[in-house]
Structure 1
Amino acid sequence: MDFFRKTGKVAIGSRLRMLTDKVTEDGAEIYKLYDIDMQPKWFPVFYSLSQGEDQTITAIARAIGHSHPSVSKIISEMIDKGYVEEKKDQTDGRRTLVTLSKKGKIIAAKIEDQLIDVNAAVEELSAQATNDLWQAIEEWEFLLEHKSLLKRVMEKKKERNSELVNIVEFEPQYQEVFKALNEEWISIHFEMEESDYKALDHPQEYILGRGGFILVALYEGEPLGVCAMIKMTDSEYDFELAKMAVSPKAQGKNIGFLLASAAIEKVKSMGAKKIYLESNTVLKPAINLYHKLGFEKVVGKPTPYTRCNIQMELKLA
């Protein structure tokens, strides 16, 4: 097992597969030991049917946690072997039920001794082991049901990428990228409007000079994300979160969340109580981000943008 000592836990799938293959190989030989002609993969389906109740393939699949196609294939193989039969449901002719045949019932009775001995062997193995594998499997299944390995890896990837992101204050050298990133996403989904050009062409006059600020996300030193906080006057809101854009090549690196979070923390330190934003529901990743940040939908405020179909606010106090 030198390979697994070198790779560590990243090879968990391969190691579990090897263990499964070993147990399955022994399982096939155990059936031969008891003179039972059965494939190990059939056992969950066979056992479910041996409990005496006729079932649909869907019900079997649900009971044993397998997919419908895999159960359907196993049923076909067991029909060919003569262990199960299919019949129409007498109360609902549209449903097909699966049941053990006479031959299958003989096997069900014959297999009882095998199950007793296998259970005793597994109990003995568990007693000799330092860790309880059965309990560990149950715990892992529960945890993975709550959050899959894929999702956990995605989160770790974001965390690692986040360490490469540096949020800095706007400087004149970033004006071109500030406009370019915003113009890119707006032009893909909508059309640039007069208010866009005002803010993007003249950030000093329309944002910075009025008490707002712009943040830039540098990923490994390259500016790939921007967002602005525009100071609001004559309003119940202190700032508007606006002009947030992330380069397509930086998607999935958590830059949008890091930018918005940094902007929110900055206005908090300035004493802000409420933040406002405008967006469009076609921008699902953005809307999901705003909800994650704690924004809630509001209505009724006039907007200069024809593309706006949702308004949201974040209460800081």
Structure 2
Amino acid sequence: MEFFNKVGKMAIGSRLRMLTETITEDAARIYKLYDNIDFQPKWFPVFYTLQSGDELTITAIAKQIGHSHPSVSKIIAEMVKRGFVTEKKDKADGRRNMVSLSAKGREASVKIQAQYADVSNAVEELSAQASHDLWQAIDEWEYLLEQKSLLRRVQEQQKIRESGEVQIVSYEPRYARDFRNLNEEWISNYFKMEEADYRALDNPDGYIINKGGAILVALYHGEAVGVCALLKMNDPDYDFELAKMAVSPKAQGKNIGYLLGKAIVEKAKELGANKLYLESNTILKPAISLYHKLGFTKVAGRPSPYERSNIQMELDLG
């Protein structure tokens, strides 16, 4: 166990597999203690389910024991070959096979009762000697993993770690090319570049910064991978427009859009804004979801300089 003490909990899969192998090897030997039943431990869930005496379909068995249909089908084929179960066509539906214990299987089900009692008592004894209730822990882990898989949990931890490596900085002229390229990349992927785009992207200093706006840049390992701007608005209802948010496809999944969005909202507050405005398109579902997450709500449409705009949103900062 020195390896597992060294590696820690990230080796949980390997450790559980070793524990399973240890128990399975003992289980195979245990069957031979009782009239030398030629039985494979992996057959047990199917065998136990069929002990009720009912004829069942493979689908019904799979549902009861929580296994996949192909897995149960393979086990049944092995048990048929060893003579423990029989398969026959369903009289009511010829497309289905009905499975039941054979004479050999019914005989084994009688012999195995003593084994059931001894194994149950042995496991109870083992549980009583343990400091922790393994059965209860398994129940809890199965429930928690059903709510959120280990894969999903690792993905979330990956996002948290990578998000911590993202740096949000204020725009400088050296980021002008990144500002243009990142925006042009995503706009061209979904729509077409328009005149209003060129005005902002060709001259971000003159069109945005010098008019009282702001641009923030997301750096990942020093590389500009995301941008977002605040355009000063001459509007009685809104102070700034949140615009020109773009994240490189190679950096997506690192929470950069949300980090940029939060940072640009805070920047707007620093600049004294009371209300923000933005325009987007409903085909950009991740972007719309992000805006909702930031607190934006849909408002009635108003004239837009962009052909692609079909939704307007606002955020009250008061």
The TM-score normalised by the length of structure 2 is: 0.90
Which residue number corresponds to residue 161 of structure 2?
160
C-alpha separation in 1, matches of 2:14 and 2:65: 23
C-alpha separation in 1, matches of 2:275 and 2:62: 51
Alpha-carbon distance, 1:281 to partner: 4.2
| 3-state SS in 1 of match to 2:304 | coil
| 3-state SS in 2 of match to 1:111 | helix
Which residue number corresponds to residue 218 of structure 2?
217
* Percentage identity across paired residues of the two chains: 67
Alpha-carbon distance, 1:314 to partner: 4.2
| 3-state SS in 1 of match to 2:8 | helix
Count of residue pairs brought into register by the alignment? 317
Which residue number corresponds to residue 196 of structure 1?
197
C-alpha separation in 2, matches of 1:211 and 1:271: 11
C-alpha separation in 2, matches of 1:237 and 1:104: 78
What's the RMSD between the two structures over aligned residues?
Answer: 2.3
1:25 and 2:25 equivalent?
A: yes
C-alpha separation in 2, matches of 1:184 and 1:224: 12
Residue type of the partner of 1:141?
Answer: E
C-alpha separation in 1, matches of 2:72 and 2:316: 52
Which residue number corresponds to residue 146 of structure 2?
145
Cα offsets for 1:259-310 (capped at 9, x unmatched): 1121123334556555433333444443443344344555533332223344
Deviates more, 1:156-165 or 1:45-54: 45-54
1:11 and 2:11 equivalent?
A: yes
C-alpha separation in 2, matches of 1:248 and 1:25: 49
Which residue number corresponds to residue 172 of structure 1?
173
1:45 and 2:26 equivalent?
A: no
C-alpha separation in 2, matches of 1:127 and 1:194: 76
State how 1:259-270 maps to structure 2 within 5 Å. 259-270=260-271
1:107 and 2:114 equivalent?
A: no
Deviates more, 1:246-255 or 1:276-285: 276-285
Alpha-carbon distance, 1:92 to partner: 4.1
Aligned CA distance change for structure 1 residues 57 and 295 (closer, same or farther; 3 Å): farther
| 3-state SS in 1 of match to 2:38 | coil
1:119 and 2:124 equivalent?
A: no
Which residue number corresponds to residue 245 of structure 1?
246
State how 1:56-71 maps to structure 2 within 5 Å. 56-71=57-72
Deviates more, 1:289-298 or 1:135-144: 289-298
C-alpha separation in 2, matches of 1:56 and 1:271: 69
Aligned CA distance change for structure 1 residues 212 and 51 (closer, same or farther; 3 Å): farther
Answer yes or no: is the 8 Å Cα contact 2:231–2:243 preserved in 1. yes
Aligned CA distance change for structure 1 residues 30 and 160 (closer, same or farther; 3 Å): same
C-alpha separation in 1, matches of 2:245 and 2:151: 28
Aligned CA distance change for structure 1 residues 32 and 315 (closer, same or farther; 3 Å): farther
Alpha-carbon distance, 1:132 to partner: 0.9
C-alpha separation in 2, matches of 1:107 and 1:218: 67
Residue type of the partner of 1:40?
Answer: P
Aligned CA distance change for structure 1 residues 98 and 203 (closer, same or farther; 3 Å): same
Residue type of the partner of 1:134?
Answer: W
C-alpha separation in 2, matches of 1:299 and 1:52: 66
C-alpha separation in 2, matches of 1:150 and 1:15: 18
Aligned CA distance change for structure 1 residues 297 and 68 (closer, same or farther; 3 Å): farther
Gaps spanning 5+ residues in structure 1: where? none
Residue type of the partner of 2:7?
Answer: T
Alpha-carbon distance, 1:12 to partner: 0.8
Cα offsets for 1:164-210 (capped at 9, x unmatched): 11111112221111111111222233221111111111223333344
C-alpha separation in 2, matches of 1:43 and 1:200: 67
Answer yes or no: is the 8 Å Cα contact 2:301–2:311 preserved in 1. no
Aligned CA distance change for structure 1 residues 291 and 119 (closer, same or farther; 3 Å): farther
Alpha-carbon distance, 1:70 to partner: 0.9
Residue type of the partner of 2:10?
Answer: V
